[in-house]
Amino acid sequence: MIKGLYEAHLPVKNLETSIGFYKKLGLKAAWRDEDTAFFWIDEGTSWLGLWEGDTFQTPYHPSLRHIAFRVTYPDLKESLKWLESIQVEAVPFGRRTSVEPFVRPNQGNASVYFEDPDGNSLELMCYVDVPNELKHITEKLSFEEWENLVKRMQN
């Protein structure tokens, strides 16, 4: 029945500022009106709605103000360089102090985090093929730690 995500929404303080930010991320504008703008995440498949108004003051919680964009593993490895090239700073996730991308072996994914101008949490995320012998690992591993672990396992 469910085939994927159609849309997601975020609150913003200033629509013009947010439009500029999301264009900088490479998202294509779909349509807008006075206080709303939509951007294609995957054109014709899924989009992101930005809603200008006081709701941008809603305290952050990932269930309310978070979007994860799917990328490839090679792209995620280059994500800090890409974010820097568009003048966007990565931020640490949770209790981590590093902004470096990391792998969650038990979930089979990897991520890096950043924020939009209104403090909405944004994530670049990819699937990671995890051998069954490593799926028990719950700690978050740097790409270097992850790749070294996989190499040791393969030897």
CATH 3.30.720.110 fits 61-155, yes or no: yes
Domain map (residue ranges) of the chain: 1-58, 61-155
Q: Map residue 84 onto helix, strand or coil.
A: helix
Q: What is the pLDDT of residues 96-112, one digit of tens each?
A: 999 999 999 999 999 99
CATH 3.10.180.10 fits 1-58, yes or no: yes
Residue 4 pLDDT? 79
More confident residue, 81 or 154: 81
Task: Identify the burial level of 55 via C-beta atoms within 10 angstroms of its C-beta, where 0-12 means exposed, 13-18 middle and 19 or more buried.
Answer: middle
The pTM (predicted TM-score) of the whole model is 0.92
Distance in angstroms (rounded) separating the CA atoms of residues 111 and 96: 12
pLDDT classification of 2: cutoffs 50, 70, 90: low
Distance in angstroms (rounded) separating the CA atoms of residues 155 and 151: 6
